[in-house]
A and B are shown apart, each in its own frame.
Chain A
Amino acid sequence: QKEVEQDPGPLSVPEGAIVSLNCTYSNSAFQYFMWYRQYSRKGPELLMYTYSSGNKEDGRFTAQVDKSSKYISLFIRDSQPSDSATYLCAMKGYGGSQGNLIFGKGTKLSVKP
């Protein structure tokens, strides 16, 4: 079992839909959870960052962490065509080397006008 599993999609939704993107993980030591957004032919950029469990909201984006289920989610409300991108989850435990950030393989999202 890989440490981080992420459905690669592609996921296609109509404009205005609520989008749910998910990652599961196996390492219970993970404490830091991030979502990166990557537009086509660009580098990833940080979208959301969460420490430990709970929810975090930023505009139309909500990140949720359920450590008991080893499951993280990113919700996008009122999705827009500009949200079309690949979304990568990333996570890390407390301590250890800085090279220990583990990425999911990314989910490609397309929001149709």
Chain B
Amino acid sequence: NAGVTQTPKFQVLKTGQSMTLQCAQDMNHNSMYWYRQDPGMGLRLIYYSASEGTTDKGEVPNGYNVSRLNKREFSLRLESAAPSQTSVYFCASSEWGKSSGANVLTFGAGSRLTVL
């Protein structure tokens, strides 16, 4: 039971470099999310995908792009990394079965990114 798998677990980048964080879920969930977690700031939503083929901005989308590759996979891309993007990134998925219900999230283990 893998759940939500994120790669890589750790990454160090230099300012201006680009990279993609990968996320895959095997629970057949419709919805997927990318959060960042910073000390004193809590979890903040970057982007989410309610279903395959759709993506929407969250609270802090600037500097990021996402791709919902298929139902299983949702990637987060940093085109030109900045030190302010140093953070722990979490991918999550949820089953949005009932109308307007609460989205109970299953999280991955996180990807720790440092931008120098």
Instruction: Enumerate chain A interface residues (CB-CB to B < 8 A).
Output: 8, 31-32, 34, 36, 41-46, 49, 51, 88, 92, 94-99, 101, 103-106
B92 to chain A, nearest CB (A): 8
- Which of B11-19, B64-72, B77-85, B95-103 forms part of the interface with chain A? B95-103
State the CA gap A31–B50 with chains docked (Å). 20
Q: Are B110 and A41 in contact (CB under 8 A)?
A: yes
Residue pair A95, B104 in contact (C-beta under 8 Å): no
Q: A44-B43, A105-B42 are in contact. Are A32 and B107 (CB under 8 A)?
A: no
Q: Can you report 23 residue pairs joining A to B where beta carbons are below 8 Å apart? A: A8-B40, A31-B102, A41-B110, A43-B90, A44-B90, A44-B105, A45-B106, A49-B102, A49-B104, A51-B102, A88-B42, A97-B56, A98-B31, A98-B103, A99-B33, A99-B56, A99-B58, A101-B103, A103-B42, A104-B42, A105-B41, A105-B42, A106-B42
- A46 with B58: CB separation less than 8 A: no
* Chain B: number of interface residues, binned into ranges: 20 to 34
